[in-house]
Amino acid sequence: MELNVLTLCYLIASVTFILGLKMLSNPASARKGNLVAAAGMTIAILGTIFLYEEDGQKLGNYGWIFGGLLIGGIVGTWLQKK
């Protein structure tokens, strides 16, 4: 069942990512397109972290994963403002 949910997450994420990229072609909808694409990528990342299994084992190491996401987000935000 989880594999079907993960596949559905990937399908939704890919559709929203493609729609977001299409919206980036028009300056009036570019900001909304960026948010739509970001939401799609968030769905894909969270689906992979929480639903992916290999040989019956989940990913684990959630502290490292979310720590890396947090550090990357802080550094990216800092560089963007700089």
Tens of pLDDT, residue by residue over 27-60, are 999 999 999 999 999 999 999 998 888 888 888 8
Predicted local distance difference test score (pLDDT) of residue 34: 93
Q: Provide the sign of the torsion angle of the four alpha carbons 20, 40, 66, 56, taken in this order.
A: negative
Q: Which of 60, 43, 36, 38 is nearest to 7 (CA)?
A: 43
Mean pLDDT across 20-33: 93
Mean pLDDT across 3-29: 92
Q: Where are the domains of the chain?
A: 2-81
Band of the pLDDT at 21, cuts 50, 70, 90? Answer: very high
Predicted local distance difference test score (pLDDT) of residue 3: 66
Predicted local distance difference test score (pLDDT) of residue 23: 94
